[in-house]
Amino acid sequence: MLDFSNASLDTDSLPKYEEVSLTPLHRKYWNIVLINITIFLLIIGAGLTTLLILSTGARTYIYVIVSIYLVFAALLFFLYRLSIKKRGFALREKDIMYRNGIIASSTTIIPFSRIQHIALDEGLFSRMFGLGSLRIFTAGGASGSLHIPGIEIEQAKSIKELLMKQINDAG
């Protein structure tokens, strides 16, 4: 009979993912977020304006509605700005890591061996600023997928090629 061993690991000796130096999203990504937030706020503003024009009862609350709208807009800009500063990614020897989150930080680490497909997306505004997004799909389905926005397009292409090479070498 074979000897079976299942020794405990010393968790203090394991590498700490928290100590990994992350590459921040490109600074131009904030411009894309600003454009998207502005479009969203313009649509909401147009709806509120229509409401105020068509509803005489709502006009009595114009200052309250406008104040709430302005506070909402300021909060939206602030939270997105803070969110972008907290995001980052790292390409390591055996995996790719992405961290995001303001209040609750989320770190996703995907080993190269789990990657099945990689997509490089360039939206209209992203293309204007020379940025792209990497979408990494794993065998785990939607829960295992990873989306990293705001990467300079040349860097995103290089990362995609490297990941594809890793997948092909492993397969």
**97 domain residue, yes or no:** yes
**6 domain residue, yes or no:** no
pLDDT value at position 169?
Answer: 78
Look up the pTM and report it. 0.81
pLDDT value at position 40?
Answer: 97
Identify whether residues 101 and 72 lie together within a single domain.
no
Domain boundary among 83, 109, 129: 83
**One-letter amino acid identity for 71?**
V
Identify whether residues 33 and 106 lie together within a single domain.
no
Which residue range forms the structural domain that includes residue 108?
Answer: 89-170
Identify whether residues 47 and 99 lie together within a single domain.
no
**123 domain residue, yes or no:** yes
Identify whether residues 124 and 58 lie together within a single domain.
no
Count other Cβ atoms within 10 Å, centred on residue 41: 16
What's CA 74's distance to the chain center, in Å? 21
121-150 burial, b at 16+ Cβ within 10 Å, e below that, comes to eeeebbeebebbbbebbbeeeeeebbebbb
Identify whether residues 93 and 165 lie together within a single domain.
yes
Q: What residue has token string 């989150």?
A: 101
Q: How many domains does the chain have?
A: 2
CA distance 148 to 129: 16
**68 domain residue, yes or no:** yes
Identify whether residues 51 and 96 lie together within a single domain.
no
CATH code at position 166: 2.30.29
**157 domain residue, yes or no:** yes
**21 domain residue, yes or no:** no
Q: Which helix (H) or strand (E) holds 39?
A: helix 29-54
CA distance 76 to 171: 44
27: closest CA among 155, 170, 151? 151
pLDDT value at position 171?
Answer: 61
Q: Give the mean pLDDT per block of 10 residues along the chain (171 residues).
A: 81 77 94 96 96 88 94 96 94 91 90 90 94 90 82 95 84 61
Q: At what angle do helices 29-54 and 62-86 cross, to 10 degrees?
A: 170
pLDDT value at position 1?
Answer: 58
76: closest CA among 28, 42, 26? 42
